[in-house]
Amino acid sequence: MTDIKQTRRLQLVGGSTYTVSIPKTWIDELGLKKNSNVTLIKNRNDSITLFQEEQSKKNKATALIGKSDSKESIRRKIIAMYLSGYKTIEIKTKGIEISITHKSTIRDLVRTTLMGTEIIESSSEKMK
């Protein structure tokens, strides 16, 4: 991907909606086209994440987490995979045990945010 960060100006359209343009190079690299659907998420840290909608469900995704990952970072990784349509999301560590705090964050996310999901496997180094 070309640029990682760009500053854009919000534009008011019709009195109740704001728009922001996205660089064409980013759209091309992501394979999006005119009239493609995207999903926007307002994160707890007041950032906004944009996801492209997938037409078909994917089977499995793996999120690698480390002990230095914040709760918000873990939430974002899992939500991104959920919104991308993966049927199974596996959370693995980078050679360490998943901390109690991280397990609690994941359980809370599944219970309160991710509709229709459940934890089907949990061990010291991974959750599914």
pLDDT at 17: 92
Alpha carbons within 13 angstroms on the beta-carbon side of residue 81 total 21
Contact status, residue 110 vs residue 118, Cβ threshold 8 Å = yes
End-to-end CA separation in angstroms for the chain: 30
pLDDT at 98: 93
What residues are paired with 122 via a beta bridge? 127
Q: Locate 61 and state its tokens.
A: 């995704």
pLDDT at 42: 83
pLDDT at 41: 82
Contact status, residue 52 vs residue 27, Cβ threshold 8 Å = no
CA distance 109 to 71: 10
pTM over 0.85? The answer is no
Q: Mind listing the pLDDT tens digit of every residue in the chain (128 residues)?
A: 456 788 999 999 988 999 999 999 888 887 888 888 888 888 888 888 887 766 545 788 899 998 888 999 999 999 988 988 888 999 998 788 999 999 999 999 999 999 889 999 999 999 99
pLDDT at 87: 85
pLDDT at 54: 62
pLDDT at 2: 55
